[in-house]
């Protein structure tokens, strides 16, 4: 059965897709820190187990399910953040090195995906190997985004807010270049998608970090709550829009 005959396992790329991607990536960053501060050594295995269970459920369904998909995305965000924090905070790997390692792994995954499937387009992610490659890409991009965001904020001394603005600017440049020069849409999508993680993570850390670390000092719990409220508002707006479309359609 080819890709065209199978059900796509990912959402359509709309404004709500990008909003939820950014908000849930940021929520995962803050919630990961909150879990680490609250549950300590239990946080990492619990987050890993939760991700495995949700991905197993995601693998059993035959088509895109919004609840399961976004739960898996959030769980990957939490666990990916923990992987990056573990490599730097516990293992002592410098951020520049961990960022390069995660970037290399990211490239290897996507090149292998391209060679194996002959297509890395988001529009052709279906049940099977393409979905496995996709979730491996998502998990790696979460770790990469955390490491890159921390690298820009600390060793590069930009601070969390300026780091977020920097990643936002690069995303905007990629978007504009696609419109002006008709760049390869698949490449542009993955650039923006991967950069969305350090963009949102930087703002999450900015809310949570102490003023001494260029943050607002709200704490990881409060930062997570802010992102959770924004996610809830976004989901409610999406549901309201869908109801209106059905009634007017």
Q: pLDDT by residue (tens digit) across 81-124?
A: 999 999 988 889 999 999 999 999 999 999 999 999 888 989 88
The pTM score is 0.91
pLDDT higher than 80, residue 127: no
Residues with Cβ < 8 Å from 38, sequence gap 6 or more?
none
Q: Looking at 124-133, 138-147, 190-199, 233-242, which range is the least confident one?
A: 233-242
Section 195-210 average pLDDT: 93
Confidence of residue 6 (pLDDT cuts 50, 70, 90): low
How large is the average pLDDT for residues 198-218?
92
Summarize the confidence of residues 148-165 as an average pLDDT: 93
Q: 164: Cβ–Cβ under 8 A, 6 or more apart, which residues?
A: 149, 198, 199, 200, 202, 203, 206
Ordered by start, the domain boundaries in the chain are 3-160+201-248
């Amino acid at each position: 059965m080819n890709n065209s005959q199978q059900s796509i396992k990912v959402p359509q790329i709309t404004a709500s897709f990008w909003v939820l991607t950014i908000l849930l990536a940021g929520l995962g960053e803050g919630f990961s820190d909150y879990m680490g501060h609250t549950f300590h050594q239990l946080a990492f295995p619990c987050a890993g187990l939760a991700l495995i269970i949700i991905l197993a459920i995601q693998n059993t369904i035959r088509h895109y399910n919004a609840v399961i998909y976004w739960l898996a995305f959030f769980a990957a965000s939490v666990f990916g953040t923990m992987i990056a924090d573990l490599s730097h905070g516990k293992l002592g790997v410098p951020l520049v090195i961990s960022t390069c390692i995660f970037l290399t792994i990211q490239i290897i995954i996507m090149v292998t995906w391209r060679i194996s499937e002959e297509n890395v387009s988001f529009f052709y992610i279906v049940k099977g190997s393409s979905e496995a490659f996709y979730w491996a890409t998502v998990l790696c991009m979460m770790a990469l985004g955390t490491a890159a965001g921390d690298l820009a904020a600390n060793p590069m001394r930009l601070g969390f807010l300026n780091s977020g603005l920097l990643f936002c600017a690069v995303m905007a440049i990629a978007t504009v270049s696609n419109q002006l020069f008709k760049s390869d849409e698949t490449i542009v999508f993955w650039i923006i998608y991967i950069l969305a993680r350090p963009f949102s993570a930087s703002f999450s850390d900015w809310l949570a970090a102490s003023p001494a670390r260029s943050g607002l000092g709200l704490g990881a719990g409060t930062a997570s709550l802010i992102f959770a409220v924004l996610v809830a508002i976004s989901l409610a707006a999406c549901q309201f829009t869908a109801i209106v479309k059905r009634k007017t359609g």
